[in-house]
Amino acid sequence: MKTNFPLPRLSVLATVILLAAPVSAQITNQEYAERREALAAQLEEGLVLAVGSAAPPQDYIPFHQNSPFRYLTGFTEPDAALVMEVREGRIAWETLLVNPRDPATETWEGYRVGPEGAREATGIEGRSVEELGHVMDSLLAATEVQELQVVGAYDPDAAIRNDVTQRVEALVRGHDGLQVSTAPNPYLTTLRGVKSEAELELLRKTTAITVEAHRQMMQAVQPGMNEFEIQALVEYTFRRYGSERPAFASIVGSGPNSTILHYNQNDRFMADGDVLLVDIGAGYGGYAADITRTVPVNGTFSEAQREIYELVLEAQAAAEAMARPGVHFGQMAQAAADVLARGLTELGLIEAPDATFEGENGQEIPQLRLFYMHGLGHGIGLDVHDPWPPILEPGVAFTIEPGVYVRPNLFDEVIPDTPRNRELMEAIRPAYERYVNIGVRIEDDYIVTEDGLEWISPAPRQVADIEALMAQPWDGPAERDPEWMEWYRQMR
C-alpha cells in the first residue's frame, strides 16, 4: 500500500501538501465541461436543468452549494441554474443563469460575479437568473418533447419540499403539460463515483488537514476536559489550514457517548478511564474527509479498551488487505464482519459467530448486530457519503470504518425481554460489564489505484503509536507555517 503522508507532523504536513499539490491541482473549466459533455452523451436528447442551492432565508446563515450543481459547474454562488440543450449526445447549447450584480444587495451579502463574471469564471455563457422563465419558454417552444430532465434533489413527493424542488415547481407552474424527470441522476452518480486526478488531490489535501487535527486532538486530550474543547481544537485546525468548514457535524464522544454512532452534542466532561471517539472531516475545495480515531482519555488504553480496539483494528486490516480493483465492497464487508463476529465471541460478548437473538417480532437477528450496527464504509467526495460503484476500480475514493459499541442501555432497552434473550443476557453479562461504555470506531480514507490501494489518512492508529503521541506534551497549536501559507496564497 502506498502512503502519501508517512510522517504528517506539522512542518512535514506543510511540505507534503506543497509537494503533493501543484497549483494545477485545481479543477479546470475544461474538466467541468467534460463532465457536462459526459452527461450529455448518456442522455442523448432533451432539455436538462441543474438547479443550484437557493440563498439561505437570512444572509447571515452560511450558504453551501449542492454537490450535483457544483460537480457540473464549479459555481458556488446561491440561486444559480444551468440549462443545457442536448442533441445527439452533445451539448447543442448551454447557459449558466446567476444572480445579477446588485451593489445594494452586495453591501450585505458580498460580491457577486454577475453573468459576465460567471462566463469568465466558468467558460459557460452567463445570464441573469431572472431570465430563467424566458429561456425555458423559448427552448420548449422549439421542441415537441415537453420534458425537463432535472439534475439533483428534485423530489415532489417529499413531505417538506427542498429548495431544488421548490424552484423546479415554480418553473413548471408556468408551463402546462411540462413533464419532469430525474433521468440525469443515475448517470451523474456513476460519473461522480470515479474521481479525476484533480479531485483526488483535493481529497488528499482535506484528509491531510484532518490527520493533523487528529494529531492535535491526541496530544491535547486529558481527563477533566469537555468534549467541546476537543471539537474547538479540531475545527480550529481545519480552518487554520484553509478548510472552508467541517464536512459534517464533528463527533466527539467520550465514555457512553462513544457508543452513539452520530453523537454530536459534544458537551460532556471526560473522565479518567473513558475512551474518546473522534469522527471528523475537513471540507476542502468542496471535498470531504472522514476519519475516525478512538483514544483513551488518560493516554493509556486499559486492558479492556485495548481488547476491543485491537479487534476493530484487525477487522479493518482484513478489509483493507482485500481492497484492489475488481473486488466487490460486499466481500470486504463480509471479511470485516467475520473478524468481529469471531472476536466478539472470544471476548464473550456474543455466544457464537453466527448466534442470533430474538427481535421485537420474534425474528432472528445476528448477535453481532448488537455491537456493530452500521455498514463497513462509503464513498467520499463532494459529499461525505459520496456515490461510488460497488466493485472497486482505480479512482474510487472510500472509507473503511468498522466499529464495536457496548451501549449502556443494551440490556434495559435494546434487547427485547424474552425468555430466550434473558438466557443470552445471563451468558454475556460478565463480558458486558467488563466492556460497557466502550465504543471504538477506526475509520480511514483510501483511493483505489491500478494495483491496490493508497491510504490517504495516516493518523496514528496502532495502540503504541497513539500512546506515544499522547505522551508528548501539548503546548498549544503548533506555530503557523509560513511556507504553507505561501503555498495556499498561490493556489487560491
Residues annotated as catalytic are 59, 262, 279, 290, 374, 378, 385, 401, 405, 441, 443
Is 87 or 262 the residue whose CB approaches ligand GLY more closely? 262
CB of 5 to ligand GLY, least distance (A): 20
Q: Is 42 exposed, middle or buried (0-12, 13-18, 19+ CB in 10 A)?
A: middle
Neighbour-count burial for 157-166, b at 16+ CB within 10 Å, e otherwise: eeeeebbbbe
Nearer to ligand GLY, 248 or 455 (CB): 248
* Stretch 358-397 residues interacting with ligand GLY (CB under 6 A): 384
Indicate the residue among 201 and 279 with the shorter CB distance to ligand GLY. Answer: 279
x/- mask, ligand GLY, residues 140-169, rule CB under 6 A, reads ------------------------------
Which chain residues interact with Mn ion by CB under 5 A?
290, 399
Is residue 445 near ligand GLY by the rule CB under 6 A?
Answer: no
Rounded to whole angstroms, what are the CA distances from 358 to 103, 162, 254, 319?
Answer: 65, 39, 30, 29
Helix 29-43 vs helix 184-193: crossing angle, to nearest 10: 130
Toward ligand GLY, which CB reaches closer, 274 or 279?
A: 279
Beta carbon nearer to ligand GLY, 85 or 279: 279
Q: To the nearest 10°, the Cα dihedral for 462, 466, 471, 477?
A: 150
- Which residue type is seen at 41? A
In the complex with ligand GLY, which residue's Cβ is closer, 124 or 280? 280
15 binds, among Mn ion, ligand GLY, none (CB under 5 to 8 A by kind): none
Amino acid type, 113: V
Distance CA 43, CA 116 (A): 29
- Quick one: which of 305, 308, 313, 322 has its CA closest to 461? 313
Minimum CB–partner distance for residue 38 and ligand GLY (Å): 28
Closest CB to ligand GLY among 304 and 384? Answer: 384
Q: 367 is in the binding site of which of Mn ion, ligand GLY, none (Cβ under 5 to 8 A by kind)?
A: none
Do the strands 291-296 and 2-3 form a parallel or antiparallel pair, or are they unpaired?
Answer: unpaired
Q: How far is the CB of 248 from ligand GLY (least distance, A)?
A: 6
CB atoms within 10 A of CB 365: 14
SS3 22: coil
| SS3 state of residue 394 | coil
List, in sequence order, every beta strand (DSSP E) within 133-206: 147-151, 179-181
Helix/strand/coil for 271? coil
Q: Are strands 282-284 and 275-280 parallel, antiparallel or unpaired?
A: unpaired
279 binds ligand GLY per the rule CB under 6 A: yes
Q: How many residues bind ligand GLY (CB under 6 A)?
A: 4
Q: Which residue is nearest to Mn ion (CB)?
A: 290
Minimum CB distance to Mn ion, residue 195 (Å): 17
Q: Closest separation between CB of residue 384 and ligand GLY, Å?
A: 6
The distance in angstroms from the start CA to the end CA of the chain is: 31
Q: Cα 388 vs. chain centroid, distance in angstroms? A: 12
Residue (348 or 375) nearer to ligand GLY, CB: 375
Which of Mn ion, ligand GLY, none lies near 386, with the C-beta cut-off 5 to 8 A by kind?
none
Of 79, 94, 212, 290, the residue at the interface with ligand GLY (CB under 6 A) is 290
Binds 212: which of ligand GLY, Mn ion, none (CB < 5-8 Å by kind): none
Q: Which amino acid is at 219?
A: Q
Least spacing, CB of residue 380 vs ligand GLY, in Å: 9
Considering beta carbons, is residue 85 or 290 the nearer one to Mn ion? 290
The beta strand positions in 173-247, using DSSP E, are 179-181, 245-246
Question: What order of strands is seen across the sheet that includes strand 147-151?
Answer: 126-128, 90-98, 81-87, 46-51, 147-151, 179-181
Does 481 bind ligand GLY (CB under 6 A)? Our answer is no
Q: Is the dihedral of CA 293, 294, 299, 303 positive or negative?
A: negative
Is residue 248 a contact residue for ligand GLY (CB under 6 A)?
Answer: yes
CA 189-25-215 angle, to 5 degrees, is 90
- The per-residue DSSP string of 316-335 comes to HHHHHHH-STT-BHHHHHHH
Q: What, of Mn ion, ligand GLY, none, does residue 248 touch, CB below 5 to 8 Å by kind?
A: ligand GLY
Residues forming beta bridges with residue 455, ordered by sequence position: 3, 446
Compute the CA torsion angle 95, 99, 102, 107 (nearest 10 deg): -140
Least distance CB 153 / Mn ion (angstroms): 21
- Written as nine digits, the cell of 376 is 463497513
CB of 279 to ligand GLY, least distance (A): 5
Least Cβ distance, residue 105 to Mn ion (angstroms): 38
Contacting residues toward ligand GLY, per CB under 6 A:
248, 279, 290, 384
